[in-house]
Amino acid sequence: MTTQPESIIGADKVMDVRPIPCSVKHGLILKTWRELPVGDHFVLLNDHDPVPLHYQFDAEFPGAFTWDYLERGPEDFRVKLTKLQELPPPVATTQSYGCSAH
């Protein structure tokens, strides 16, 4: 059993963030991914290439995830994010990675 809210991740394991305001999008994605059980995944669906988010994952969770593009535009981008290992509790950060495409 997972802790994924059905309103965020559908039964098809897709997290559609296209309608979510950019100001909360990254935080919601990170929170959702952190709550995944090890070995589980979701497919991120976005309206632009989430490169800044990938940089953030690389910086904060090196070796703890896989990032696999399933679709690369031009309108939709789908990335399969898999959690590979348990994480320490989150640390407050002042660095912000935003949606630079919007």
Q: What domains does the chain contain, in order, with CATH numbers? A: 14-83 (3.30.110.40)
Please, which pLDDT band fits residue 76 given cuts at 50, 70 and 90?
A: very high
Q: Structure pTM?
A: 0.81
Q: Which residue has the tokens 């989430």?
A: 50
- Rounded CA Rg of the chain: 13
Given a cut of 90, is residue 16 above it in pLDDT? yes
**Can you tell me the mean pLDDT for 62-76?**
97
What is the rounded CA–CA span in Å between residue 60 and residue 44?
18
Do 34 and 69 contact (CB within 8 A), yes or no?
Answer: no
Strands 41-46 and 14-16, sheet pairing: parallel
What confidence tens digit (pLDDT) does each residue in 27-63 have? 999 999 999 999 999 999 999 999 999 999 999 999 9
Do 86 and 38 contact (CB within 8 A), yes or no?
Answer: yes
